[in-house]
Structure 1
Amino acid sequence: MVDIDDKLFWIGGLGWPGDAYGQVFLGRAARQLGKTLFPSDWTGAEMMTELPYPRDVFYIDGEERTTPKPLFWIEVHLLDILARVIRENHPEIGIRFTPGPTRRPVLTDEQYMMALTTIERVNPIRGAALSRWAKVSAELGAALRDGKIKFALLPTQGGQFLTDTQPFWWNIPSTAHRWMRCRMSPTEPYSTASVGAGFMYIFVDDADLASFLADHRMADATAATPMQQSSNKTFTAALALLSNWNPPKRTIRAFESYCKENGISSKIAREAYGTLGTAKGRKRA
C-alpha cells in the first residue's frame, strides 16, 4: 500500500520546494519528462500507482484463466483482497463481516463478480501507469548517472545549493528510494533510505534538463517523419489524379474507385476530394 503522505507529496505536490538559481526540483523534472514522453497519457500520478491486484488466483488453472473459481473455493485470505477491491473502487457497496475478532468478509455472488470485473478493468490501467513511470524514472536516472544532467542538493530548510555532487552516486542497483521524497544524503549517497538526518532535496540543472527534453522531442519528430512524408506524397498523388479526372459524373464514390485503381486508399481519396469544395471554380458533384 502507498503511504498517504507519499500520495500527497507526489499527486498534490505537497511540500515541494520551489525552483531557483537555474535548478529544477527532481519531482518537477520527472513530470516534465513524463509529459514529453507520454503527451496524451501522462497524468502526474504515475509514481503513486498501486500495484495491480492479484488476478490469476481467482481463476481455474489453464492457459487462458478465464473461468472464475466458484466463490466457495476462494481461500479466506483471498476474500480480504476481494473486499479491498470493492472497498477501494465501490465504497458505496456495503460488505458484511463475520462477528468476532477475525472479522472475515462474507461476499455475495454478485459482489464476487463485481470484484473480478473491477480487477479486469483496473489492472491494465495500473500496469500502463507503472510502465510509464518505470520509463521516466529509468531514463532520468540514467541521464543523471551518465552526467548528461547535472544535479545539486538543497537542505530541507533552504539556503545554498550543494553543487559538489558526483554522477556515480546514481550508479546503484535501484534508485526507487530516491523518488519517494526526492532526497539524498551527500554524506551517505548510497543509503537506501528515502529520508533521514542530513538528507537534502535533489534538484537538476535547468539547462541540462531542457536540452535532454529537446533531444527527446527531436527523436520523436524524426521517428514520425517517414510516415508523415509518405502520407503527404500519397495525398499529393491523389490531388494530381483529381486535377486530371474528368468522368461523366464527378462523385466521391467514383473518385474513390479511381484512386483505388491507382493504389491510393479511400481515406486519402476522400481527403483530396474534399478540396473540391474550396478550390476556385469547382463545385462538389
Structure 2
Amino acid sequence: MKIEELFNPVIPGLGHVEVSRERPLPAHLRDLLEADDRQRFWLAPERWPRDVMGMVFLARAVQLLGQTLFPNEWHGFEPSVDLSLAPLPILPELAPASEGRKARKLVDRRWVIDHSLWRQLREKREQTLSSIAGSRKRLVVVRERLIEAFLSGELPYAVRNDNRGDFSDTLPAHWWNTELTDARFYWCRINIRNPISHAVGGDGFQFIYIAQRDLTTLIDKLGHPAPKEKNTLDDVHKLEGYLRAAIKASPNKRTLDFKKDIQPWMRANAPSITDRMYRDTRKSILDVQTE
C-alpha cells in the first residue's frame, strides 16, 4: 500500500498537507506507517466515523484537545506515535521474538543472527525515539487530561450502536479507572460487555463519542488554562530531570520509594503530575538506562 493511500493530507488544525518529493512525510512517520493499523487509523481522519446528532468522535476530541493545550506545538501527528516503543537491547538474543527476528539472515539454509544488522536497527530505533520524544510527551498530557475528565464526570461519553446508528446512554465514569486505557485510544472503541481489557477491536466493540456541548465546555475552560494545565509539560521536564539525577546518584537503587521520595517532591515541584504520568515517565527513563 502506498503512503498516499494511507495518509490523507487533511490534518485537523493543519488543513491540507502535501505529501510529495518536495515535502515528504517525515522519516519517523514513514516508519510508523509500516508498523500497524493503529498508526494508519490516526493518520487517515477522513476514514473516521462522522460527527452527527451533536456528538463528536473521540479521535477528533483528542486532536482538538491537543490543539488547545499546545497551540504552538501540536502538529496532529502525535496520536500516531507508539507510546510503548522502547530502545532495543544490546544483544538481539535479549529482545522479544518479534524484534529479534529482524536481525536474522539466511546462511547455508540456516537462519543466523547478524550482529552488524542489529547495531543498525538499534541506531535507527534511537533516532526514531529521539525524533518523537516531544510528540510522546504531548500525547501523554492530552490523554491524561481526557481520562481525568472522563473519571470526574466532566466529560460524559457514550458509544454509537453500529446496527441502529443511535447512541447509548452515558456510560460509567469508573470504566476509566484502570491502567488499560491504551486500548481505548487504539481505534477509539470500547466493548461495553467487557470494558476493561487489552483488546482493541472485534465483536461488540463500538466507537466512543462525546457530546459536543460538553467538549466545547472543556475546550473553553482549557483555552484559559489554570496553572496546572498550563504548566503540565514543564512539570514533565522537571520530573525527568529529577528521576535521572536520582537514578544516577544511586544506580543500584532502581526503585525509588514513591510515597517517601516521589510524592513529596512532586507536590512541591511538579504539582500537575499525576500518578499515571509519573509511571509512564519513570518507565521511559528506566528503558533508556537499561540501554
State whether TM-score is above 0.5: yes
Between the aligned partners of 2:193 and 2:108, the Cα distance in structure 1 is 53
Q: What is aligned with 2:62?
A: 30
Supply the distance in 2 between the matched residues of 1:5 and 1:115 (Cα, whole angstroms).
22
State whether residues 180 and 197 of structure 2, in contact with CA within 8 Å, keep that contact through their aligned partners in structure 1.
no
> Is contact 1:153–1:202 with CA below 8 Å preserved after alignment?
yes
Where 1:204 maps in the other structure, the secondary structure is strand
> Aligned partners of 2:92 and 2:109: how far apart in 1?
15
Q: Tell me the residue number matched to 1:18.
A: 50
Partner of 2:202, secondary structure, is coil
Q: Is the 8 A contact 2:189 2:207 kept in 1?
A: yes
Cα distance in 2 for residues equivalent to 1:173 and 1:208: 24
| Farther off after superposition, 17-26 or 190-199 | 190-199
Number of the residue aligned with 2:158: 152
**TM-score, length-normalised on structure 2?**
0.55
Counterpart secondary structure, 1:107: helix
Residues 214-225 of structure 1 mapped to structure 2, 5 A cutoff: 214-219=220-225
What are the within-5 Å matches in structure 2 for residues 1-285 of structure 1? 4-13=36-45, 15-50=47-82, 51-54=84-87, 58=90, 75-77=91-93, 98-105=107-114, 107=116, 112=119, 118-157=124-163, 159-219=165-225
Give the partner amino acid of 1:105.
D
From the superposition, tell whether residues 190 and 54 of structure 1 become closer, same or farther in structure 2 (CA, over 3 Å): closer
Cα separation, partners in 2 of 1:96 and 1:107, compared to 1, 3 Å: farther
SS in 1 for 2:154: coil
Which amino acid counterpart does residue 22 of structure 1 have in structure 2?
G
Superposition deviation, residue 197 in structure 1: 2.0
Displacement of 1:31 after TM fit? 0.8
- Give the gaps of 5 or more residues in structure 1: 59-74, 86-94, 225-285
The answer (yes or no) to whether the contact 2:69–2:229 under 8 Å persists in 1 is no
Q: Displacement, 1:166?
A: 2.1
Match of 1:181, SS state, is coil
Q: What per-residue deviation string (whole Å, max 9, x for no partner) do you get for residues 229-266 of structure 1?
A: xxxxxxxxxxxxxxxxxxxxxxxxxxxxxxxxxxxxxx
Check whether the contact 1:146–1:167 (CA below 8 A) recurs between aligned residues: yes
Gaps of 5+ in 2: 1-31, 231-291
Question: Within 2, Cα distance between the matches of 1:199 and 1:185?
Answer: 4
* Number of matched pairs: 195
Q: After TM superposition, what 4+ stretches of structure 1 lie above 4 angstroms from structure 2?
A: 78-85, 95-99, 114-120, 220-224
**Aligned CA distance change for structure 1 residues 105 and 212 (closer, same or farther; 3 Å):** same
**SS where residue 169 of structure 1 aligns?**
helix
Larger gyration radius, structure 1 or structure 2: 1
Deviation at 1:162, TM superposition (A): 0.9
Q: TM-score, normalised by structure 1?
A: 0.56
